[in-house]
A and B are shown apart, each in its own frame.
Chain A
Amino acid sequence: MYRKLVFLFVLALFAVPTFVSVAQEPQGLPVDVPREEMFVVDQIFRYGVAGNYNIWQTAGTTPHRHAMMDETLWYVDQETGERIYGAAISDPMYNDDFTQMTVELRDNLEWSDGVPFTAADVVYTVETLKATPELGQSGWHAQFNQFVDSVEATDDYTVVFNLLESNPRFHNIFETRWNGMYIMPKHVVENVEGDLGTWTNPDPVVLGAYLPTQYDPNGFWELYERRDNWETSVAGTVIGNPGPQYVLTIFYGDSSRKAIAMSRGELDVYFDADIEAFETTLDTTPTARSWYADFPWAYPNEVSTRQLAFNYETQPLFQDIKVRWALALALNIVELQTEYIGGVAKVTPLPVPATPSLTAIYLDPMQEWFENLEIDLGDGTMYKPYDSTVPDQIAAWAEEQGYTVPGEPAEVFGPGWWKFDPETAEILLTNAGFSRDGGGNWLTPDGEPFTIDLQSPPDENDAFRMANAAADMWSDFGIDVNLSGLERAVWEQNYFVGQVDVYTPWMNFALASGDSWPEVRGDHPKYYVPNGEDVRPAGGNAFFQGQRLQDPQIGEYIDAMAAVAPDDPANFETATEFFKYWTENMYAITAISFKKFVTWDERYWTGFPTAENPDLMPLYWFQGGKFAIQSLTPVS
Chain B
Amino acid sequence: MTLLRQYILPRIVQWFVVIFVGISVTFLIPRLSPVNPVDQAMGRLTSFQTMDPEATLQMRETLLDLYGLDGSIIDQYLNFWGRLIQGDLGPSFQSFPTPVTEIIGAGIWWTIGLLGTAILISWVLGVVLGSLAGYFPQMWWSKFLERVVITVYPVPYYILAFVLLMLLTYYWPVFPLVGGSRGDPSFTWEFISSVLYFGFLPALSLVIGGTAFRFIMAKALASTEITSDYVQYAELAAVPKRKILFFYIIRNTMLPQVTDLALSLGTIFEGALITEVVFGYPGVGYTLYNAINSGDYNIIMGITLLSIVGIATASLLVDLIYPLLDPRVRLR
Query: A interface vs B, CB < 8 Å?
Result: 2-3, 5-6, 9, 16-18, 20-21, 23-24, 26-32, 46, 48-50, 52, 57-59, 62, 133-134, 136-139, 141-143, 145-146, 172, 177-179, 197-198, 214, 216-221, 250-253, 257, 260-261, 263-264, 266, 487-489, 492-493, 496-497, 518-519, 521-522, 524, 527, 534, 536-540, 542
Contact = CB atoms under 8 A, between A and B. Distances in A.
A2 B141 contact: yes
A138 B145 CA distance: 59
B316 interface: no
A250 B294 CA distance: 22
Interface string B166-188: 10111001111111111110000
Interface string B18-51: 0000000000000000111001111111101111
Interface string B61-79: 0110110000000000000
Given A28-B177, A177-B50, A58 B136 contact: no
Contacts of A539: 53-54, 56-57, 60
- Size category, B interface: 35 or more
A264 B169 CA distance: 9
13 contacts: A5-B132, A20-B200, A31-B183, A138-B51, A143-B51, A146-B58, A220-B178, A220-B280, A253-B277, A260-B177, A261-B177, A264-B170, A497-B34
Contacts of A145: 58
Given A31-B182, A48-B103, A536-B43, A24 B194 contact: yes
B282 interface: yes
Given A24-B197, A48-B103, A143-B55, A58 B63 contact: yes
B53 A527 contact: yes
Given A2-B136, A48-B95, A263-B170, A250 B62 contact: no
B174 A21 contact: yes
Given A6-B141, A146-B52, A497-B34, A138 B178 contact: no
Given A23-B197, A492-B43, A138 B293 contact: no
Contacts of A216: 179, 282
A220 B58 contact: no
A217 B200 CA distance: 20
A49 B60 contact: no
A30 B39 contact: no
B50 A146 contact: no
B234 interface: no
Given A2-B141, A177-B49, A220-B179, 15 more contacts: A27-B176, A28-B175, A28-B176, A30-B178, A31-B182, A59-B98, A138-B51, A139-B56, A142-B55, A143-B52, A179-B48, A250-B178, A260-B169, A524-B53, A536-B43
A5 B60 CA distance: 64
A538 B129 CA distance: 63
Nearest to A517: B50
Interface string B126-157: 00010010001001010001000000000000
A202 B80 CA distance: 30
B320 interface: no
Contacts of A137: 45
Contacts, number: 211
B50 A522 contact: yes
Contacts of A59: 41, 44, 93-98
B106 interface: yes
Nearest to A487: B293
Interface string B91-130: 0111111100001001100100000000000000100010
B62 A141 contact: yes
A519 B50 contact: yes
Contacts of B36: 534
Given A32-B183, A136-B63, A197-B97, A252 B280 contact: yes
Given A23-B197, A218-B282, A264-B173, A139 B94 contact: no
Given A198-B97, A537-B60, A139 B39 contact: no
Contacts of B35: 489, 493
Nearest to B92: A48
B14 interface: no
B66 A139 contact: no
B39 A58 contact: no
B98 A49 contact: yes
A26 B54 contact: no
A499 to B, nearest CB: 10
Contact of A218 (B49, B60, B106, B168): B106
B286 interface: yes
B169 A542 contact: no
Contacts of B174: 17-18, 21, 26
B114 to A, nearest CB: 12
A517 to B, nearest CB: 9
Interface-centre pick from A58, A136, A250, A522 (highest chain B CB count, 10 A): A58
A527 B52 CA distance: 12
Contacts of B44: 59
A57 B182 contact: no
B224 interface: no
A184 to B, nearest CB: 18
B53 A522 contact: yes
A521 B46 CA distance: 13
Given A2-B132, A143-B55, A146-B58, A488 B293 contact: yes
A541 to B, nearest CB: 8
